C-alpha cells in the first residue's frame, strides 16, 4: 500500500479506494477485538455497522485487565498493519481510536482506569481539540472528514449522558 499513488487515479476512483481500505481496516480492527475476546473465553453479542465504522458489542468483561486487553486488541491490529504496510490509513485509525474520547477505545480505556470525572474532562478536552483540528483542516481545504468524525463523537457523547 505504501507504493499506491492516489494522484494517479481519478478523484472518484481515489475516494472509492480510500473508502474500501478504511472499511477493510475497520473490519480487521474489530477482528482484533473479537480475537482477544474469544481468546479470553468470552462471547460477542453484536457487530454493528455505522456510517463511521463498526463496533463490536459484548457483555462487560469481568475484570479491568481483561477488558483492557479486549480494548487494545483492535488498535493493536491497526498499529501492526501500519508498521508492516506503511499505510497512513492504519496509522490514522490507530491514533484516532486511542484518543481518550468515548466511545472510542481510548475513551473506554480512560473510563475504565481513571476516575469518572477525570475521564469525562479528558474526553471533552480531546474532543474540543479534535473538533478544532477538523475545523482547521476544513478551512485549509482538506475536506470535512475529521470534522464529521468529531461531530459524530459529540453526538455519541450526548446520547450516553
- Identify the sign of the CA torsion 132, 25, 87, 122: positive
Residues 12, 13, 19, 22, CA torsion sign: negative
The string of DSSP letters for 125-146 reads: HHHHHHHHHHHHHHHTT--SHH
In this prediction, residue 151 carries a pLDDT of: 86
Residues 47-70 pLDDT 10s: 777 665 667 777 777 789 999 999
Stated pTM of the model: 0.82
Residues with pLDDT less than 50, the chain: 2
Alpha helices by DSSP H, listed for the chain, are 11-39, 64-85, 88-98, 105-113, 116-139, 145-160
What was the pLDDT predicted at 48? 78
In which residue are the cell numbers 504496510 written? Answer: 85
Amino acid at each position: 500500500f505504501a507504493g499506491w499513488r492516489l494522484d494517479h487515479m481519478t478523484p472518484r476512483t481515489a475516494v472509492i479506494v480510500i473508502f474500501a481500505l478504511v472499511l477493510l481496516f475497520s473490519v480487521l480492527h474489530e477482528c482484533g477485538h473479537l480475537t482477544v475476546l474469544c481468546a479470553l473465553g468470552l462471547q460477542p453479542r453484536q457487530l454493528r455497522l455505522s456510517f463511521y465504522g463498526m463496533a463490536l458489542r459484548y457483555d462487560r468483561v469481568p475484570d479491568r485487565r481483561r477488558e483492557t486487553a479486549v480494548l487494545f486488541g483492535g488498535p493493536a491490529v491497526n498499529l501492526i498493519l501500519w508498521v508492516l504496510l506503511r499505510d497512513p490509513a492504519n496509522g490514522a485509525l490507530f491514533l484516532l481510536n486511542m484518543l481518550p474520547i468515548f466511545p472510542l477505545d481510548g475513551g473506554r480505556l480512560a473510563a475504565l482506569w481513571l476516575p469518572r470525572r477525570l475521564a469525562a474532562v479528558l474526553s471533552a478536552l480531546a474532543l474540543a481539540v479534535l473538533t478544532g483540528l477538523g475545523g482547521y483542516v476544513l478551512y485549509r481545504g482538506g475536506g470535512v472528514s475529521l470534522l464529521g468524525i468529531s461531530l459524530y463523537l459529540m453526538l455519541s457523547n450526548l446520547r450516553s449522558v
